[in-house]
């Protein structure tokens, strides 16, 4: 559904953010886009959405260059940025104004999502709402558009604790085999049960982009008492509960993906990670 080929992009000519980036993403997945601050997560989403243009290489969405921003493409694409456009309209007025751009928009779903977020019957103008409330309105709207590609930049930022749980519920309700979600996040603990594939960005390149089960098939995440005698160890972290380790999953043991550990292991061991997931 999304394909980037040899994408190079920089805000200045001297320091490119990305160099020869290649990425292919399919529907039916919730991708977690991870990377350190300033690594270009938002920029990557903007390139996919056609809001930034690659210096070289191509970014395609539904098989057409995203920079063209054709109406057909825009009907099936929504980008929830960290800063949201919040006009002085009530939720109802907002829906009346912007829903017509999305032929598959469902008012029923919008109401169901608003109900989950406890915003039913809210007549306040969006501009006067708190940051968290604005976010809930925009997320509800974005999901109700039923677009095929939905990009969300730090969706749980600004949400209070119960709202984070509601966000996960609403996402689980909305996910289906036709849709592709990309969530950029630092709040890995908020979203680890939702994300089924990981895109890891570092130093202008993609370290890995794989479904969780491919990652846990190649990497073993395990808490041990001692790392003595452990072969193929990639990363270890001492904690009160024991030593958290990431090693090569030579025997294909079942394990649970720990996204934070994966992140640390990948950043400190780039070469090995790229070797293991070398199809990129």
Structure tokens at 146: 């039923």
- Binding characters for other proteins, 112-151, by CB under 8 A (x = yes): ----------------------------------------
- ∠ CA 262-264-270, nearest 5°, is 85
Both structure tokens of 222:
């395990």
Beta carbon of residue 226, minimum distance to other proteins (angstroms, whole number): 16
- Of 90 and 106, which has the nearer Cβ to other proteins? 106
Distance CA 77, CA 206 (A): 23
Other beta carbons within 10 angstroms of residue 254's beta carbon come to 8
Residue among 96, 172, 178, 203 that touches other proteins (CB under 8 A): 172
Please name which of 21, 63, 74 lies closest in space to residue 203, comparing C-alpha atoms: 21
Q: Which is nearer to other proteins, 196 or 248 (CB)?
A: 196
Which residue, chain included where needed, has tokens 């992140």? 263
180 interacts with other proteins by CB under 8 A: no
Shortest separation between residue 70's beta carbon and other proteins, angstroms: 30
- The answer to whether 81 contacts other proteins (rule: CB under 8 A) is no
Is residue 254 involved in binding other proteins (CB under 8 A)?
yes
For residues 2-31, which are near other proteins according to CB under 8 A?
Answer: 28-30
Helix (H) or strand (E) holding 49: none
CB 249 within 8 A of CB 255: yes
Question: Binding mask 213-232 vs other proteins (x if CB under 8 A, - otherwise)?
Answer: x--x----xxx---------
Judge contact between 45 and 150, C-beta under 8 A.
Answer: no
Q: What is the binding site for other proteins (CB under 8 A)?
A: 28-30, 165, 168-169, 172-173, 175-176, 192-196, 213, 216, 221-223, 254-257
């Amino acid at each position: 559904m999304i394909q980037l080929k040899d994408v190079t992009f920089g805000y200045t000519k001297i320091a490119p953010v990305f160099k020869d980036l290649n990425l292919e993403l399919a529907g039916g997945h919730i991708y977690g886009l991870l990377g350190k601050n300033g690594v270009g997560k938002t920029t990557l989403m903007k390139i996919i959405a056609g809001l930034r243009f690659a210096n070289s290489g191509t970014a395609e969405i539904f098989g057409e260059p995203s920079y063209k921003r054709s109406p057909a493409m825009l009907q099936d694409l929504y980008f929830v940025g960290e800063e949201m456009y919040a006009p002085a309209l009530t939720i109802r007025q907002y829906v009346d104004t912007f829903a017509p751009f999305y032929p598959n928009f469902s008012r029923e779903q919008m109401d169901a999502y608003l109900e989950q977020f406890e915003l039913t019957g809210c007549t306040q103008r969006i501009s006067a709402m708190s940051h968290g409330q604005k976010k809930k309105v925009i997320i509800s709207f974005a999901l109700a558009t039923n677009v095929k590609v939905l990009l969300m930049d730090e969706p749980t930022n600004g949400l209070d604790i119960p709202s984070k749980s509601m966000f996960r519920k609403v996402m689980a309700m909305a996910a289906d085999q036709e849709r592709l979600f990309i969530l950029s996040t630092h709040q890995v603990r908020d979203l680890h049960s939702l994300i089924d594939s990981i895109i890891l960005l570092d130093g202008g390149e993609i370290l890995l982009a794989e479904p969780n089960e491919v990652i846990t098939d190649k990497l073993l995440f395990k808490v041990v008492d001692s790392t003595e005698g452990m072969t193929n160890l990639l990363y270890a972290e001492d904690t009160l509960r024991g030593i958290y380790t990431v090693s090569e999953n030579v025997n294909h043991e079942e394990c649970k993906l720990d996204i934070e550990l994966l992140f640390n292991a990948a950043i400190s061991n780039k070469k090995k990670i790229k070797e293991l997931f070398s199809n990129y």
